[in-house]
Chains A and B, each alone.
Chain A
């Protein structure tokens, strides 16, 4: 999986994992009637997903996630919303290179 789809899916799953791992959040929301998935199931889903993602992009993602908590940053008006640096036009994705990274923080950039 070389395109952005797998990386975005991974980020969305990691956001859900972070919510489920926070006991204060789950305790509060359970009292309001919410249910939460089994963390072990989420781990298994993650293991299956990372197997399908290109190693190079997975490494970028994991490095940035380890450092900042999130591996993907949205780009708004050519500004990385992770570190707020203005990105050069060469950082824009191309058909042959749909994923790019921020030259400042290393997060994978999501240009939408």
Chain B
């Protein structure tokens, strides 16, 4: 079983075209608030702590200006992908030191098996690691263009 990145997982309510803030913790707060508004969470405070714990322990910057914070959590109601951009860049402590312009927040409920969640994370990260996709995502004018990049992955 896998989590396909389709309309059920990524919808316009889970897209932030331009993040307002530039510090990692503040950005995570903004992402959690957006996911809560989109109805993806049953407990934003628990998810926030879970995301911050992972960031404290190992960080989620995967390089090339991409961060993929993720959680399999009791606070999450359904698998969701939240896509957020920062054209100015965010300091995220990635190994390559490149400021993060693309944040892909991957969320799975606790009931989902760890290998299914890992596959979901891997699919999102694989999209972000390709230069062609990063350019398309950063240049996208509308949510449909963003969704189209992830739709290509399924075809």
Residues B129 and A19 in contact, CB atoms below 8 Å apart: no
Residues A34 and B110 in contact, CB atoms below 8 Å apart: no
Number of A-B residue pairs at CB separation under 8 A:
80
- Contact (A8, B74) CB under 8 Å given A41-B57, A112-B43: yes
Number of B residues contacting the other chain (C-beta, 8 Å)?
A: 34
Residues A22 and B115 in contact, CB atoms below 8 Å apart: yes
Number of A residues contacting the other chain (C-beta, 8 Å)?
A: 28
Which residue in A12, A33, A74 is a CB contact (below 8 Å) of B62? A33
Residues A32 and B62 in contact, CB atoms below 8 Å apart: yes
Does any Cβ of B come within 8 Å of A66's Cβ?
no
Which residue in B61, B95, B110, B115 is a CB contact (below 8 Å) of A24? B115
Residues B110 and A19 in contact, CB atoms below 8 Å apart: no
Which residue in A11, A25, A32, A33 is a CB contact (below 8 Å) of B115? A25
Residues A72 and B114 in contact, CB atoms below 8 Å apart: no
Residues A34 and B125 in contact, CB atoms below 8 Å apart: yes
Does any Cβ of B come within 8 Å of A35's Cβ?
yes
Seen from chain A, the residues whose Cβ lies within 8 Å of a Cβ on chain B are 8-9, 11-13, 15-16, 18-19, 22, 24-25, 28-29, 32-37, 41-42, 70, 72, 74, 81, 110, 112
